[in-house]
Amino acid sequence: MTDVVGASATGSGLARRRLRRLLRGTALAMGVLTLGAVGGGWALYDRLSDNITADEAAAAELARYERERPTALVRGAQNILVIGSDTRTGDGNRRYGRDSGTERSDTTILLHLAAGRRTATAVSLPRDLMVHVPGCLRRDGRRSAPSFMMFNSAFSVGGSACTVRTVEKLTHLRIDHYAVVDFSGFKDVVDAVGGVQVCLPQPIDDKAAKLRLPAGRVTLDGERALGYVRARKSLGDGSDTDRMDRQQRFLGALVDKVQSGGVLLNPAKLYPLLVAATSALTTDPELASLRGLYQLVRGLRDIPTEYVQFLTVPREPYVYDSDRDQLVAGRADALFALLRADRPVKVGEQGGGSGGKPGTSPTPAFRGNTAAEDSCE
């Protein structure tokens, strides 16, 4: 097993969790096959595959720079870049702001799947992180000059390909797949699972996010969930770091809901989820089919929720602007090296991943949490 703070299991508890994982994995396979075999199912299968938008332009741009891209070091390990787009265009997105003709990556998560699918580690990359963005192909067909700018500007400048190349240069990790999800798609996924329960330590009254919630356990529908994960200045300490932690906890709760909420066992619930999920995605061509997605996630059924880890890349205020971020060089380098080598990443509340000198341990701890955590307990 991996080296994660607070994760242990013995005896009958471990056996029960293994049984549940087996049932969930079997249920997912049966659900997909059922949708593909009955009631005109192959037509439904094709429809689901057609829902996914293949980003051919980004694939061509990445192929242009293939020689400079990192090489994967560990066979079987995979890195997926998940980009939350803040586009205001398209159905259901205009209410979130004026369309200026551009879009930025409001949320970006680097998901590392260990070889053998022992663990899944999701690393949030702050949108305000100052990084070197390479020259990229703009949407108007011109090429930008290399620049030092905020990380989320890479998506605005050159879309998925520019963001992938920026992350690869920053981490020296090969990005195997990428997926872009917009506001409307996120809401539809949450609604498709019947909402997601979160624990709020205090009431929320955020006029900008149009969000008013009581303290305690609350089930969020898609609209309120979007407000919850995007709100910033009125929640917590108002920092982007606090917001990323909230996003991580919400995604953990969503993972737990899909695994344990009877979704995979019930085709009536599974199909709306698949429709919502596939309609929300723009991906690399290899991933842009139901078969491609299934091959990616089928190994995840054996990962216990306590081994699905969330953390934020070690960062600190940018030396020239406290409203921006920069990497804590030693600790960030240590994290990226662990991921490149597919070695265990130790996550815990006292990880100290937001600053300080790199530890002397060969596997230093990083501040974060797991999908199994519940702040109400």
The dihedrals phi and psi of 15, each to the nearest 5 degrees, come to -65, -40
Tokens matching residue 369: 């949490």
Question: Model confidence at 275, in pLDDT bands (50, 70, 90)?
Answer: confident
Listed in sequence order, the residues at least 6 apart from 38 whose beta carbon sits closer than 8 Å to its beta carbon are: none
As a whole number, the mean pLDDT across the chain is: 78
**Rounded distance between C-alpha atoms, residue 100 and residue 265, angstroms:** 43
CB-CB contact of 154 with 136 (8 Å): yes
Share of the chain above pLDDT 90, in %: 40
Length of the chain: 377
pLDDT tens column, 322-342: 989 999 999 999 999 999 999
pLDDT tens column, 140-162: 999 999 999 999 999 999 999 99
pLDDT tens column, 166-217: 999 999 999 999 999 888 888 999 998 899 999 888 888 888 777 889 999 9
Question: Model confidence at 24, in pLDDT bands (50, 70, 90)?
Answer: very low
Mean pLDDT for 23-46 is 49
| Residue 211, beta-bridge partner list | 206
At 222, the amino acid letter reads: G
Nearest residue to 111 via CA among 251, 295, 273: 251
**Rounded distance between C-alpha atoms, residue 180 and residue 281, angstroms:** 6
